[in-house]
Amino acid sequence: MSLADDLYRETILDHYHNPRNHGAIEHPTAQVEGVNPLCGDELTLYLTVKDDKIEDVKLTAKGCSINTASGSMMSELLLGKSVEEANQIVDLFKRMMLDKKEEVELPEELEDLEALRGVKKYPVRIKCALLPWNTMLEGLGNVLKSPLP
């Protein structure tokens, strides 16, 4: 195992043991449940969007370390972003995880997500890493459908 693999594993474990933005929002703009019935991963995503910006994001996750770490990393990166920026970041992450032909390059501000690239070696675990991101897409879609405060 390389030094980079060790560092990436440490990053994932840190986010698993100390998830960022863990918890609930009392009156969110959107609340979405995400479930992966094949492995038992579950999460609830809470979003507060104001003036087209993600003002707050919280998650409660149950399941594997990859699901929890991925949600934690996502919440850190998307907090304060516009809905459009968030959608672009989610799309880029999903392409990185799913594209088998092209090595998707991440901009420097998203380099922490490199830790999750190694999950691609285990195809059955890719859904674990994508669950928070797909749930975020659903939440952002719900926000766009309803009037913002």
Domains in the chain, CATH or no CATH each: 3-145 (3.90.1010.10)
Question: What pLDDT score was predicted for residue 5?
Answer: 67
Cα–Cα distance, 116 to 130 (Å, whole number): 10
pLDDT of residue 147: 59
Looking at residues 43-53, what average pLDDT do you find?
96
The closest of 67, 65, 70, 74 to 47, measured between CA atoms, is 74
Q: Mean pLDDT of all residues in the chain?
A: 91
Give residue 88's pLDDT.
96
Residue-level pLDDT at 8: 74
pTM summary value: 0.91
Residue 51 clears pLDDT 70, i.e. is over it: yes
Provide the pLDDT for residue 2. 62
pLDDT tens digit sequence for 75-128: 999 999 999 999 999 999 999 999 988 788 999 999 889 999 989 988 989 999
Angstrom CA distances, 28 to 64, 76, 97, 132, stand at 25, 17, 29, 17
Residue 74: pLDDT above 70? yes
Question: How would residue 143 be classed by pLDDT, with cut points 50, 70 and 90?
Answer: confident
Beta strands in the chain (DSSP E): 30-36, 41-50, 53-62
Are the C-beta atoms of residues 120 and 97 closer than 8 Å to each other? yes
